[in-house]
């Protein structure tokens, strides 16, 4: 039997607005995934350490502070350094389309903005894990 998709949902930095992260975490759980929510004010090191400890398939960052061009690359760099570069890094928040494209070119997965139906990231994660999970 295949194990459930494991997703770590994290709020990096000082952004204290976590309603969207909690809504997404609940939607992922309701879609049959195992969700680890790290809570507020996480550093990139804390996020990657938790991802390693929890053996996740996906790291999803929620960023509303405008610091996405700092946090996504920092988390991605640490993931690669710690040997989990094969884990999907995705997320959402208030991220301009041009920044989404720039982050995707760096190796970050698809990103989602406010108002995106929860079904879109859920389907994206299922599809990505289906194609990329090690057998």
Name 10's bridge partners. Answer: 61
pLDDT of residue 40: 94
Residue 4 CB-half CA count within 13 A? 13
pTM: 0.95
pLDDT of residue 57: 97
Assess whether pLDDT exceeds 90 at residue 72.
yes
* Structural class in CATH, domain 6-132: alpha beta
pLDDT of residue 129: 97
| Helices assigned H by DSSP within the chain | 19-30, 44-54, 68-81, 97-106, 119-132
Assess whether pLDDT exceeds 70 at residue 134.
no
pLDDT of residue 1: 45
- What are the pLDDT digits (tens) for 77-111? 999 999 999 999 999 999 999 999 999 999 999 99
- What are the pLDDT digits (tens) for 12-54? 999 888 999 999 999 999 999 999 999 999 999 999 999 999 9
């Amino acid at each position: 039997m295949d194990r459930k998709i494991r997703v770590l949902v994290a709020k990096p930095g000082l952004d204290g607005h976590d309603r969207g992260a909690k809504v997404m975490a609940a939607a992922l759980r309701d879609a049959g995934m195992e969700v680890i929510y790290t809570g507020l004010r996480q550093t990139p090191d804390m996020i990657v350490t938790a991802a390693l400890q929890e053996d996740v398939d996906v790291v999803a960052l929620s960023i509303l502070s405008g610091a996405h061009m700092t946090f996504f690359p920092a988390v991605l760099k640490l993931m690669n350094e710690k040997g989990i570069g094969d884990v999907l890094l995705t997320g959402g928040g208030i991220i301009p389309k041009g920044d989404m494209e720039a982050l995707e070119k760096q190796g970050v997965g698809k990103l989602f903005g406010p108002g995106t139906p929860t079904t879109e990231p859920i389907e994206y994660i299922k599809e990505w894990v289906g194609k990329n999970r090690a057998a």
